[in-house]
């Protein structure tokens, strides 16, 4: 069950992120930090730049979702 929930959540987030990414380009904003990390030093700064930013961001999201769903399931029992 958690694998399906994680996959569904991950895909839903990416479906929402695509139009937001293009809206960010149009409005020159950084909603969800999809264009790049902030200019100040934050945890997002460790994700790198360019393509690596997106790869590590996606990996972090999968890990976070899996951890949250696993914790929620263990709390139920």
Q: What is the pLDDT along the chain (77 residues), one digit of tens a residue?
A: 578 888 898 999 999 989 988 998 899 888 777 777 777 888 878 888 888 888 898 899 999 988 988 888 788 76
Provide the number of structural domains found in the chain.
Answer: 1
Question: 58 is in which domain, residue-wise?
Answer: 2-76
**Which burial class, exposed, middle or buried, applies to 6 when counting CB atoms under 10 A from its CB (0-12, 13-18, 19+)?**
buried
For position 12, what pLDDT does the model report?
Answer: 93
For position 16, what pLDDT does the model report?
Answer: 92
In this structure, what are the phi and psi dihedrals at residue 49, rounded to the nearest 5 degrees? -130, 165
């Amino acid at each position: 069950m958690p694998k399906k929930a994680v996959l569904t959540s991950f895909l839903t987030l990416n479906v929402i992120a695509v139009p937001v990414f293009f809206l960010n380009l149009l409005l020159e904003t950084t909603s969800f930090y999809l264009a790049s990390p902030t200019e100040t030093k934050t945890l997002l700064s460790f994700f790198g730049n360019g393509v690596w930013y997106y790869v590590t961001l996606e990996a972090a999201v999968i890990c976070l979702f899996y951890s949250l769903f696993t914790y929620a399931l263990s709390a139920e029992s």
